Structure 1
Amino acid sequence: MASQPFVVVNPLARRASSAVAEVVGQCDRLGIPIPRSLATTREQPGSAQARQALDSGADMVIVIGGDGTVRQVARELAGTDTRISIVALGSGNVLAYNLGLANHDLATKISIALTGPSVELDVGWANLQTASGQRFDEPFLTMAGIGRDAQTVARTRLSSKVRIGAAAYALHGVRQAIRPPLPMKVQLDDDQPESVLTWTVLAGLTRQAPGGVVVYPDARPDDGLMDVLQVPIRNPVQWLPVAAKGVLNPDLDVAVLRYQQAERLRVRPFDPLPAQLDGDVVNRVVAMDARIQPRGLRVQVPPECRDGA
């Protein structure tokens, strides 16, 4: 049980103030010191608050928000003994769904956050270079992608995500599906680089994407590997078996999907493209180098997920 928890809260998240009040109430009943609450801002979306919590001796950081806030906090907590506890209230909660944390009422979510067991999960890191020469080293906990999927994410308005959830991604994804594949050069680990035409290149750490669609059937969040997916689709009709696999039968063999596993991934698009990390977009990327930090983050989970998410 935590002796020095902190709360990092996105004040724009649904029921954020109610969640903070519930954390305070449960801590009081459990005899846990009342945590200090640190709100995110547009300029400081979570990383600075997590660093402040670490510097103050936190052994647990409770994140109230969605994947973007969790990702920012994980940037600081990765490689430390401080646990991250997720109270999924954001517009995107993909990691929480994969960990069995999303489908609970608010009181149960916070009870798990405070008293649930912890597991060690892999952290992905993507080093991105943009056409203007900027470089970013960014974490991801569910997936990193470059190509049409990132264009879909970039064109999905926040207001749409809040209003209709994962369906907002699907609506924009349909529009992107009819567009042609993109030329890229892809290298896994120490293999030779390969020139490909693909709708996207995705590196996944968890099985499910937004909406519960199974994108990576064999992915585990703690196996030290990225599940790399290429989608060399040439004809929109080829999306039909892909949709059936994701929604109806994850074990369906779809020839147009190319799955591989790797510890490292290098992607060089022919033209600058957007990249997305757990739903956060970086535009005009000309190089993406992804790597794995095995079991780099301690995360509170429900008791039934103690032996694997």
Structure 2
Amino acid sequence: MSISSDVLRDVVLIAVLVIAVVVLITLVLTRRRLLFRSRPTENLDGASEAPRAAVVVHGKKVDDHDARRRQIEVLSGRLGWRAPVWLETTIEDPGRGQTRKAVADGASVVIAFGGDGTTRVVAGSLAGTNVPMGLLPAGTGNLLARNLGVPPNRLESSLHIALTGRNRTIDIGHVEMADAPGAPPREESFLVMSGLGFDAEVMATTAPELKKKIGWGAYVIAGAGRLRGRRTPVTMRVDDGPVQQRKIRAVVVGNVGMLQGGIQLMPGALPDDGWLDVVVVSPRGMTGWLPVVGAVLTRRNHATVEHFRCRTIEIHADKPMFAQLDGDPAGKAQSLKAWVDPLALIVRVPG
């Protein structure tokens, strides 16, 4: 029995309509799946699964906490993040316990909101955790932030980097300092620079009120009054090399090389090269500082400015000297041993 052309036409038309409906339904379902995946999922209690940061904030470095906190919450929301956990440091705990709590609670990034000292403490607790550290630099020096390209005292820009920037893995320096021969050493970490002598003395004797008024210029004023001074005999051992003797005014061990104003104290220092850079300064009297300044500014060698690169260094002085860690006074020490922990910390930097 033959099928009429009208019946055949109707069958073809129905088949085409069925195929069109199937294609349309498939497109709609696919679009819905894509839209669903692009939105933050929710728990049974309605909590969003958007990432969440923790902010470890230095109580005395940040003014108007409530306003800054609200600003950070608003900016975080605009970037698709939940309101961050706010953890303030205390005299008893400058950030170690707060950082460990943030990691244990599952923070996607832990942000150090303060100066280099707060950053150093937070970094020491984040090392090896695979949780990145963000920077909201609000101190006087902010040297780590400057060396990594994070703008100091610009909250919106630095928060944007902390939440959406590129991860960069950097080294951490460690030091053991002892107050006297045979005394039990105290171990600390540093990200910028540590050292003994003139620079540490300046940092220890700079008036906090002056730092608040004129910033890092207060260090210049304090340093000008301490240019006179005798050199201290020390012995040094760089890596597995021989013991060397020097008479010094200062020794600085650095993980990065740039100071305020873009001055390169250690031009070859990189935060992720697996090395420590060392500068030994040995001027005689006040006039001896002139070639030191010239050597630093012109990046040329001079007998009073020596540069080393090492994995470890040990320094023993004839008498206790002022010590510093990332620009913070660290009391006095008669011996210092420093070593590098390569690529131990993840930091958010500009993308």
Q: Assess same fold via TM > 0.5.
A: yes
Once the two structures are TM-superposed, the CA of residue 56 in structure 1 deviates from its matched residue by: 1.3
1:41 corresponds to: 90
**1:23-59 per-position Cα deviation (integer Å, ceiling 9, x unaligned):** 2112212221221100011221111111111121223
1:148 corresponds to: 198
* 1:254 and 2:293 correspond: no
Q: Secondary structure at the match of 1:236?
A: coil
Once the two structures are TM-superposed, the CA of residue 14 in structure 1 deviates from its matched residue by: 3.8
Q: State which of 307, 315, 324 in structure 2 corresponds to 1:276.
A: 324
Cα distance in structure 1, aligned partners of 2:62 and 2:291: 35
Q: State which of 4, 7, 13 in structure 1 corresponds to 2:61.
A: 13
Q: State which of 54, 64, 73 in structure 1 corresponds to 2:103.
A: 54
1:188 corresponds to: 238
Once the two structures are TM-superposed, the CA of residue 135 in structure 1 deviates from its matched residue by: 2.6
Once the two structures are TM-superposed, the CA of residue 174 in structure 1 deviates from its matched residue by: 1.9
Which segment drifts farther, 79-88 or 9-18? 9-18
Q: Secondary structure at the match of 1:190?
A: coil
Cα distance in structure 1, aligned partners of 2:208 and 2:62: 13
**1:153-196 per-position Cα deviation (integer Å, ceiling 9, x unaligned):** 11112222221111111122222222121111111100111121
Once the two structures are TM-superposed, the CA of residue 19 in structure 1 deviates from its matched residue by: 3.3
Q: Secondary structure at the match of 2:288?
A: helix
Q: Which has the larger radius of gyration?
A: 2
Kept in 2: contact 1:120–1:299 (CA 8 A) = yes
* 1:291 and 2:344 correspond: no
Q: Which runs of 5+ in 1 are unaligned?
A: 304-309
Q: Secondary structure at the match of 2:225?
A: helix
Cα distance in structure 2, aligned partners of 1:48 and 1:57: 14
Task: List aligned pairs for 1:59-74, cutoff 5 A.
Answer: 59-74=108-123
Once the two structures are TM-superposed, the CA of residue 209 in structure 1 deviates from its matched residue by: 2.2
* 1:242 and 2:289 correspond: no
Q: Secondary structure at the match of 1:108?
A: helix
**1:266-301 per-position Cα deviation (integer Å, ceiling 9, x unaligned):** 011111122111022222312211000001111111
**1:66-107 per-position Cα deviation (integer Å, ceiling 9, x unaligned):** 101001101100122011100111123111111111257321
Task: List aligned pairs for 1:8-157, cutoff 5 A.
Answer: 8-15=56-63, 17=65, 18-103=67-152, 105-131=154-180, 133-157=183-207
Cα distance in structure 2, aligned partners of 1:92 and 1:259: 23
Once the two structures are TM-superposed, the CA of residue 215 in structure 1 deviates from its matched residue by: 0.8
**1:191-238 per-position Cα deviation (integer Å, ceiling 9, x unaligned):** 111121011111011121244332111111111111111112113223
Kept in 2: contact 1:187–1:265 (CA 8 A) = yes
Instruction: Pick closer, same or farther for the CA change 1:12–1:213 going to 2, 3 Å.
Output: same
Q: Secondary structure at the match of 1:270?
A: strand
**1:99-125 per-position Cα deviation (integer Å, ceiling 9, x unaligned):** 111257321111111111110111000
Once the two structures are TM-superposed, the CA of residue 15 in structure 1 deviates from its matched residue by: 4.1
| Aligned CA-pair RMSD | 1.9
Cα distance in structure 2, aligned partners of 1:288 and 1:259: 17
Which segment drifts farther, 230-239 or 72-81? 230-239
Kept in 1: contact 2:137–2:153 (CA 8 A) = no
Cα distance in structure 2, aligned partners of 1:30 and 1:222: 29
Cα distance in structure 2, aligned partners of 1:144 and 1:197: 19
Cα distance in structure 2, aligned partners of 1:196 and 1:104: 40
Which segment drifts farther, 42-51 or 232-241? 232-241
Cα distance in structure 1, aligned partners of 2:92 and 2:189: 18
Cα distance in structure 2, aligned partners of 1:182 and 1:67: 28
TM-score with structure 2 setting the length: 0.81
Cα distance in structure 2, aligned partners of 1:16 and 1:61: 21
Which segment drifts farther, 221-230 or 27-36? 27-36
Cα distance in structure 1, aligned partners of 2:280 and 2:154: 37
Cα distance in structure 1, aligned partners of 2:134 and 2:123: 10
* 1:168 and 2:221 correspond: no
Letter paired with 2:98: Q
TM-score with structure 1 setting the length: 0.91
Once the two structures are TM-superposed, the CA of residue 134 in structure 1 deviates from its matched residue by: 4.4
